[in-house]
Amino acid sequence: MVMKASLQLKMGQSLTMTPQLQQAIRLLQLSTLDLQQEIQQALDSNPMLETSEDDDQESSDAERDNERDERSDESVSASEGESAADNTWEESDWSAENNSGDTIPDDLPVDTAWDDIYQSAPAPASRGDDDNDMDFDSRNPAAETLRDHLEWQLNLTPLSERDSAIAHALLDAVDERGYLTATPEDIHSGLEDETDDDPVELDEVEAVLHRLQHFDPPGVFARDLQECLLIQLNQLPPDTPWLDKARLVITHYINLLGNRDYAQLLRRSRLKEDQLRDVLAVITSLNPHPGNALDRSEPDYVIPDVIVRKDNGRWRVELNPEIAPRIRVNTSYASLIRRADSSADNTYLRDQLQEAKWFIKSLQSRNETLLKVATRIVEHQQGFLDHGEEAMKPLILSDIAQAVEMHESTISRVTTQKYMHTPRGIFELKYFFSSHVSTEEGGECSSTAIRAMIRKLIAAETPKKPLSDSKIATMLGEQGIKVARRTVAKYREAMHIPPSNERKRLV
């Protein structure tokens, strides 16, 4: 069979990921902190970009400069009352024809004025005398770990060189909870190999361990929970009420206490119910994980991207003006560009100006999309804002995608690591999306609302007889919500609520 070569002409459409589109997508999925770093990097690398201050004189100068046609596209602020166009700029809506040239398309406007979105960063606090200023390290000290705290106490403790070596070996075996992860026998074996001339005795290791168990926080260097609690009880004042009975319960009946078997505990300890209640109050005041008392990890700060507030009975959504500085094109550098000049310097300035325009347009598009999506979410979840989690409605990505006429992948990018400040707290935009469960009336109930109902039922339960998962499912069914026991257990575990046998209390 002979293959004959031929030419055919076909027409088709294909998606071309231009650098400008890739930049817009990357900016869209950045968190607020990452966006601030991206803007700062762009300001450092592109001389055509600069921050704009909220100075009236500077604003008026910029407005006069923007009256010329050459600089009309360099203005960052949109004119007052400009109507917002539909911002459908995800991958499936851009074609190679719309992005083949170097010109900027006109389909990236914003809903609000640029000045309303990008406010200037707050002015730094005034500096005092240099002698009174604290350096960065003193104002932002590193978080102290449990090992640092124990080693600091060890350095203040007078020990011989031999005991100091034992103490450091014991310190190396302490985990982040404050417990000893190796037995004294194991530590003794390791020290015995290092000192063949004068071997360390096991009694020496026990003696040093007993001394270290008096370190702060109380309960450190314990080998198990029982020893940890006894160490803390021994450090309480001798006149503490019910101290001896608390030692008795921890020493002999800690397993019954862990299983919440209060009937056996009452019978074996020969305590009355009100007496056992007082004893348990002493025990519950102890810390089973003493290392957590020194958890000084730095908190993670969240900067909300959008702010929701109620104004005249209506919920209003606006972008957080503090998420990024206001930027614009540097008109002084832009005026140096000559149209007919093809020199290397002029080409460099022209390319930097083009990149600056695209960067500003991408930021505008990002904020328009974010504002549009957040507004739709608030419109759908007004019940949550008014009444709380129990009024949360089912919502999935496709619902918002259809409302704003965008692709689900775009909605997923917008709602990831973006946060909304509401009167009920700060929530990630993904928090407002949840699956649904059918009701007996044929409606739907959000899984978030069901979790809130489960939490409310457990909070109101009788501590002596906590509700089982089956009982909670039955009570929800009485409210018209059909939920299986397995579903209740799954939601309960997701909220880190222990099962009924572990929630049992003696009241």
Task: Name the residue type at position 47.
Answer: P
Would the pLDDT of 89 be above 80?
no
pLDDT in tens, 368-402: 999 999 999 999 999 999 998 888 898 989 999 99
pLDDT in tens, 57-84: 444 444 444 444 444 444 333 333 333 3
Mean pLDDT value across the chain? 80
Instruction: Report which listed range, 34-48, 223-237, 403-417, is most confident.
Output: 223-237
Q: Please state, in angstroms and rounded to a whole number, the distance separating the CA atoms of residues 381 and 402.
A: 16
First to last CA, the chain: 93
Q: Please state, in angstroms and rounded to a whole number, the distance separating the CA atoms of residues 13 and 327.
A: 36
Token pair, residue 278, equals 């007082």
Asked whether 299 and 258 are in contact (CB, 8 A), the reply is: no
Q: What pLDDT, on a 0 to 100 scale, did the predictor assign at position 288? A: 93
pLDDT in tens, 170-226: 999 999 999 999 999 999 888 866 555 678 889 999 999 999 999 999 999 999 999
Would the pLDDT of 123 be above 70?
no
Mean pLDDT of 253-271: 90
Q: What pLDDT, on a 0 to 100 scale, did the predictor assign at position 443? A: 67
Q: Beta-carbon neighbour count of residue 214 at 10 Å? A: 14
Asked whether 103 and 109 are in contact (CB, 8 A), the reply is: no
Q: What pLDDT, on a 0 to 100 scale, did the predictor assign at position 400? A: 92
Q: What is the DSSP string of 59-109?
A: HHHHHHHTTSGGGGGG--SPPTTPPPPP---SGGG--HHHHSSSSPPS---
Q: Please state, in angstroms and rounded to a whole number, the distance separating the CA atoms of residues 130 and 408.
A: 54
Q: How far is CA 128 from CA 74, 133, 478, in A?
A: 39, 7, 66
Token pair, residue 230, equals 């006894």
Range from 32-46, 125-139, 417-431 carrying the lowest mean pLDDT: 125-139
At 31, the pLDDT band (50, 70, 90 cuts) reads: confident
pLDDT in tens, 129-147: 444 445 544 555 566 789 9
Token pair, residue 231, equals 């160490």
Q: What percent of the chain has pLDDT over 90?
A: 42
pLDDT in tens, 338-351: 877 778 888 898 89
Domains of the chain, first to last = 146-294 (no CATH), 436-503 (1.10.10.60)
Which has the higher per-residue pLDDT, 31 or 439?
31
Q: Is the peptide bond before 237 cis (omega within 30 degrees of 0)?
A: no
State the pTM of this model.
0.63
Instruction: Report residue 53 CA to chain centroid gap.
Output: 31
Which has the higher per-residue pLDDT, 26 or 60?
26
Q: What pLDDT, on a 0 to 100 scale, did the predictor assign at position 206? A: 94
At 104, the pLDDT band (50, 70, 90 cuts) reads: very low
Q: What pLDDT, on a 0 to 100 scale, did the predictor assign at position 173? A: 93
Q: Please state, in angstroms and rounded to a whole number, the distance separating the CA atoms of residues 389 and 463.
A: 24
